[in-house]
Amino acid sequence: MPDALKDYQQRVIDKLYGKKSPRGVIAYHSTGSGKTYTALSALSKALQNKDDRALWIAPASLTTNFEKERVKHGLQYPGKVDVYSYEKARNLADKLKDTRYKLIVLDEAHKLRNSGTSLTSRLKPVLDNSDKVLMLTGTAGYNHPSDMMSLISLMDSDAKVPRDRKEFISNYVDDDKWKIKNRPRLKNILDRYIDVYETPKDSADFPRIYRKVIDTEMSPHQVELYRYLENKIPSPLRKKVRNNLPMSLREATNLNAFSTGIRQASNSISHHQVNADPFDSEKLRVAADRMARAANKTDNFRGVAYSNFLDAGILPYEKILQKHGLKPIVFTGGLDAEQKKKLVADYNTPGGKKILLLSSSGSEGLDLKGTRLLQILEPHFNRSKIQQVEGRGARYHSHIDLPEDQRNITIEEYHSKLPPRMWQKLLNTRDTSIDEYLAAISNMKQQLTDDMRGLAKK
């Protein structure tokens, strides 16, 4: 017999199939809340007859979750469920749009937040021809608070919501203060389409989390490259970063487009210089030293380091670890689904020291066990991206097989600082680095998203 639904799971079913229900619902539920089982239960409601069809779309690494969880919960459906990865569904979109699906489930639905992408535009007609849509995500405001509006308009073309970021900011955000405005009107939209649930992280089902921010100073070679690349940023933005001056939300969005170079230089010069010495980066050297020390003093150690960059992050970091006599597992977007599955299985298999290096392709969908140290090697514009990475290591029952005193994880965030210029030493001051500035901006953006999430919860 299927497990009983928790109250918040039943709430999603009721919102999707109750009186005056919308065409679709976003289950904005955090890691460990059982989003997959919520969606499986919605399928029971949708598939009443043998001719009924449903569609389940997920990242390639998560497509097997459907069958695994269906069997686990003992669910059977009279109708058929088509299961595809996002890439496969995009390729089959012309065929899929001719099928009248009773329900379409979109796992990690924030992948569809950008309306102008090929993926979103190809899948839009498929969704339009369905009876109901259920979106699953723990990060509905993944890149920007307006992402929630994009997802709503994608599943319901008749929804009266802002159609782009500019309209959203104009209607609902005080751009200079980074605060929500017109709250009652926005709440009405959120209440209709979004259900919010936050899993209590202080329960015994989750590991205890200890946090550290570790500041390091850039090497002379890094500073030289950083200053060169910094001059490519428009002057108004450059001056605000250097002097740690506030930006509007629009300006912060523009900064994202210009700052990749200095973000890489803050980690390492390896992306711009062939055969660069990986030890030239104080940040990567310190992080690798701390990882090696933790690995050497802990039996069956499990550690993870994450960077958004390969040449300027993961690869030079790997070389430093190798100098410590450690052979990390490297997880990148160049691996196919089977290779990724094997690497995760290797990491989770007990025995020996295991260190996993994650690129951005590993920031979601991975279920890692027993991680004791998680290193975030640079800040990101979107705090939700970092939260997703943290969710790989701090998960529901992720540490349940460890002794009680080891059911914890230390999360280290690394920031590179600029050394003071000669004249700045006299004034005991220095320029703000992009790492420091991004850390502050991402927290402000996340507060805005959390404020919207809170509106939907009330």
Sequence-distant (≥ 6) Cβ neighbours of residue 140 within 8 angstroms: 26, 28, 109, 110, 147, 148, 151, 194, 453
Q: Give the mean pLDDT of 358-374.
A: 87
Burial category of 104 from C-beta neighbours within 10 Å (exposed 0-12, middle 13-18, buried 19 and up)? buried
Q: Kindly state the percentage of the chain with pLDDT values over 90.
A: 72
Please list, in sequence order, all residues whose beta carbon lies within 8 angstroms of the beta carbon of residue 111, skipping any fewer than 6 positions away. Answer: 59, 86, 119
Q: Which ranges in 97-206 belong to alpha helices (H)?
A: 118-128, 147-155, 165-172, 183-193
Over residues 210-229, mean pLDDT: 97
Which of 396, 357, 403, 395 minimizes the C-alpha distance to 376? Answer: 357
pLDDT for position 355 = 98
- pLDDT confidence band for 449 (50 / 70 / 90): confident
State the maximum Cα–Cα separation within the chain, in Å, rounded to a whole number.
79
Q: What are phi and psi of 408, to 5 degrees?
A: -150, 160
Amino acid 437: pLDDT: 96
Closest CA to 138 of 362, 332, 363: 363
Domains and CATH numbers, the chain: 7-199 (3.40.50.10810), 208-442 (3.40.50.300)
363, 271, 340, 296: which is closest to 330 by C-alpha?
340
The pLDDT tens digits of the residues spanning 5-37 come to: 999 999 999 999 998 899 999 999 987 788 999
Task: Identify the pLDDT of residue 360.
Answer: 86
Instruction: Please tell me the distance from the alpha carbon of residue 178 to that of residue 419, in angstroms, as a whole number.
Output: 30
DSSP designation for 130 = S
Phi/psi region, residue 133 (left: phi>0; alpha: psi -120 to 50; beta: rest), is beta
Q: Which of 15-19, 48-52, 215-219, 385-389 has the lowest average pLDDT?
A: 385-389
pLDDT band at 120 (very low <50, low <70, confident <90, very high): very high
Backbone φ and ψ of 372, nearest 5° = -100, -25
DSSP state of 323: H
- The one-letter code for the residue type at 170 is S
- Say if residue 240's pLDDT is above 80: yes
Beta carbons of 273 and 248 less than 8 angstroms apart:
no
Q: Which residue bears the tokens 């990567």? A: 284
Q: Which are the contacts of 141, defined by CB distance < 8 A and separation ≥ 6?
A: 147, 148, 384, 448, 449, 452, 453
Q: Please write the tens of the pLDDT for every residue from 58-113.
A: 988 788 889 989 998 889 999 999 999 999 999 999 999 999 999 999 999 999 99
pLDDT of the residue at 60: 84
pLDDT band of 122, cuts 50, 70, 90:
very high
| For residue 457, pLDDT beyond 80 | no
- How far apart CA 215 and CA 414 sit, in angstroms, is 6
Residue 24, token pair as written in the block: 């679709």
Judged against a pLDDT cut of 90, whether residue 407 lies above it is answered with yes
**Local confidence band at 336 (pLDDT 50, 70, 90 cut-offs):** confident
State the virtual CA torsion across 300, 306, 312, 316 in degrees, nearest 10.
0
Main-chain phi, psi angles of 244, to 5 degrees: 55, 45
Rounded Cα distance, 50 and 319, in Å: 56
Q: Give the separation between CA 85 and CA 111, rounded to whole angstroms.
A: 12
pLDDT at 456: 83
Helices (H), 47-160: 64-72, 86-91, 93-96, 118-128, 147-155
Average pLDDT over the chain, rounded to whole?
A: 92
**For residue 341, what pLDDT is reported?**
86
Name 253's Cβ contacts closer than 8 Å, sequence gap at least 6: 144, 165
For residue range 305-335, what is the model confidence (pLDDT) as tens digits? Answer: 999 999 999 999 999 999 999 999 999 988 8
pLDDT digits (tens, 9 = 90+) for 134-187: 999 988 666 778 889 999 999 999 999 998 888 999 999 998 888 999 999 999
Distance CA 262, CA 229 (A): 6
